[in-house]
Amino acid sequence: AFGSGLHGWGFTLNKFASMYSSKFGIPVEKFVEYLWGEHYFDEKTSHTRFPTHQMQAVLSSVVVKFILDPVYKLFFSVMKIRESEYKPILKDLVLSFSTEDEIKLRGKHLLKKIMQKFLPAAQALLEMIVMHLPSPKEAQAYRCETLYTGPQDDEAATAIKTCDPKGPLMLYISKMVPSSDAGRFYAFGRVFSGTVHGGMEVRILGPGYIPGEKQDLQIRPIQRTVLMMGRTVETIPSCPAGNTIALVGVDKYIKKNATLTTCESAHTIRAMKFSVSPVVRVAVEPANASDLPKLIEGMTRLAKSDPCVQCFTLPSGEHIIAGAGELHLEICLKDLRDDFTGIPIKVSNPVVSYKEHITENSSRQVMAKSSNKHNRLYLETEPWPLEMIKDFEDGKFTATQDIKDRAKFLSDVYGYDNATVRKIWDFGPDGVGPNMFLDATKGIQYLNEIKPHVQAAFQWATAQGALCGEEMYGCTFKLVDAVLHQDAIHRGSGQIMPCARSAVLAAELVSKPMLMEPIYMVEIQCPIDVSSNIYNVMGRRRGEVISDEQGANNQTVMKAYLPVAESFGFDAKLREATSGKAFPQCSFSHLAMFPQDPLEEGSTANVIINEVRARKGLKAGTPSPADYEDKL
């Protein structure tokens, strides 16, 4: 397929083959073969042929003669406003303009409208989908292993593999689409098995659902099933497996994605992963304090409508919106102002989301006491290898995985003690993050009674680390010993939670913590003569050019890593340095270790954590283990 996404037109070879086949009396399938490859058209004989090398200069390629030349002729005559040339072409193509505004169009605007009517992009795209993508029944048979998190031989998996419309319902909601009703959404997704219809009662399994438990589980009826037809929707009675559908009435119970099922033993369908990450954030507040409820409601709607944005409120009261970059944030803020709130909003300067990582095993055990001095917790730490973090992000082991399977993977691949990793209490933050808390104790009384309090403290600590209140990343915390009061009233949540949080934060600080910063992959297209200027701009922003490939027409394509913190204003500086000749494209690549020690006074990393701490209202100065741990 060929076309222009900017101007909204496109075509396939089949499109032109069907136009010419009747004229030449050649089947469409045969004519498509002539339109591609070493086929040339001889106008004297009106036949295609395979010419010798000398004759290629005289004859025209079939694709040039029957596709490119007519399109170029139409382009040239419309742009030069030669009505006597392009109007007969429009008549032959049976293209007409009905509205007064269309009749007045000239030049580029007229060309765009003609091409959209002559070669609509939607038809070309749909034809390519039908021709080249496998059917749901064929695709689900081999994709089930990747999609479904449960056993591959259970009732739900079997129905997914066969795309069975009579099996149990398995429907994955991937996107929340704003509806015409203020504050309401259509839950848009795909039916993998079964048939969904209005009035049906379903189990709504959120991302944090654990089979056999009630966490992140709702049982609710579906009000209506609607088919989304571009900007319009049409109510339909039911929708069988293999189709996409929008549901009405379940949006209150779904944040961003969910699995809907009628099978009580079903596991979740694996959540979609995106190649971007919300690494740039801004603080927002209403221009008028009385509009605060509207802002909070609008942020909730924005978070539902865009799977790549995060909206939350810090303990300091700041309302934060995190996006994939400057442009993404601009779009989100525009939607928030115009579509979701309708109020004026104040926006802070963009800042970067860092991660806190440990690079060594803890230098010693840390101990924290409860405020009544009757309970003590002893912790040690160790970092995750980078390969283990990647395996976690790739889903090779997860927080919701079967305990035995996860323990086997961690013991076989990374050498963990199998018995210990069977006693993983929690993953954090949010119960699914890349940090884990292990129970490595033996014979401690009352330990199970404090487990929920320790889990809550662990979630709190991993969401707001000790360095500057950023999320932790790739850390294992081991509870190696505990002393607990025998009276339950003296070991409640008010005593254990602050104690456990202090122990986790102190353990982080004795394990050589480092900052991890997000990195963009930047692809820059430019003339070769300005490439040295690009190297200078990248050097001033801690960028690293990783490839520089020369192409045709004196052009070069450069690929480089650029810290997100250095990307603000990068486009403007690049245009200034190259006189507008360079065209950059940024996409999130990975997290990289900041090269300096954040606990070393005066280092760049130390300056960053102090700035972040000041912005969040945390205690000034470099944190120390003594701020959190206790002594015997």
- Parallel, antiparallel or unpaired: strands 471-472 and 355-358: parallel
Nearest by Cα to 353 from 502, 507, 463: 463
pLDDT tens column, 263-314: 998 999 988 877 667 888 888 989 898 899 999 988 988 888 888 888 888 7
CA–CA separation, 608 and 590 (whole Å):
19
Query: Which residue numbers in the chain have pLDDT < 70?
Result: 37-60, 98-103, 275-276, 552
Q: Which two tokens stand for residue 156?
A: 């739900």
Rounded CA separation 78/114 (Å): 9
pLDDT at 127: 87
435-439 and 475-483 as β-strands: parallel, antiparallel, unpaired? parallel
Q: Is 337 helix (H, G, I), strand (E, B) or coil?
A: helix
- Percentage, residues of the chain above pLDDT 70: 94
In sequence order, which residues have a C-beta less than 8 Å from that of residue 230 and are 6 or more positions away?
none
CA distance linking residue 148 with residue 552, whole number of Å: 45
d(CA 408, CA 418): 7
Give the type of residue at 308.
C
- Whether residue 429 is preceded by a cis peptide bond, meaning omega within 30 degrees of 0, is yes
**Matching residue, tokens 């009435």:** 249
The pair of three-digit structure tokens given for residue 266, joined into one six-digit string: 């079903």
Phi-psi region of 437 (alpha: psi -120 to 50; beta: other; left: phi over 0): beta
* C-alpha–C-alpha distance, residues 610 and 604, integer Å: 10
First to last CA, the chain: 73
The DSSP code sequence of 227-258 is: EEETTEEEEESEEETT-EEEEES-GGG-SS-E
Q: Is the dihedral of CA 503, 504, 509, 511 positive or negative?
A: positive
Q: Is the separation of the CB atoms in 473 and 516 below 8 Å?
A: yes
CA dist 95 and 115 (Å) reads 10
**Coil, helix or strand at residue 443:** coil
Residue among 422, 401, 391 at smallest CA distance from 149: 401
CA distances from 625 to 65, 207, 316, 628 (A): 76, 35, 23, 6
Other residues' Cβ atoms within 10 Å of the Cβ of residue 37 = 10
How far is it, in rounded angstroms, from Cα 28 to Cα 373? 86
pTM passes above 0.75: no
pLDDT one-digit tens code per residue, 158-197 = 999 999 999 999 999 998 888 877 778 899 999 999 999 9
What's the longest Cα–Cα distance across the chain? 104
Domain annotation for the chain: domains and CATH numbers: 2-129 (3.90.1430.10), 136-261 (2.40.30.10), 280-353 (3.30.70.870), 357-512 (3.30.230.10), 515-593 (3.30.70.240)
**Vertex 495 angle, CA 428 and 618, to 5°:** 60
pLDDT at residue number 474: 93
Tokens standing for 277?
């990450």
DSSP one-letter string for 469-535: SPEE-SEEEEEEEEE--SSGGGGSHHHHHHHHHHHHHHHHHTS-EEEEEEEEEEEEEEEGGGHHHHH
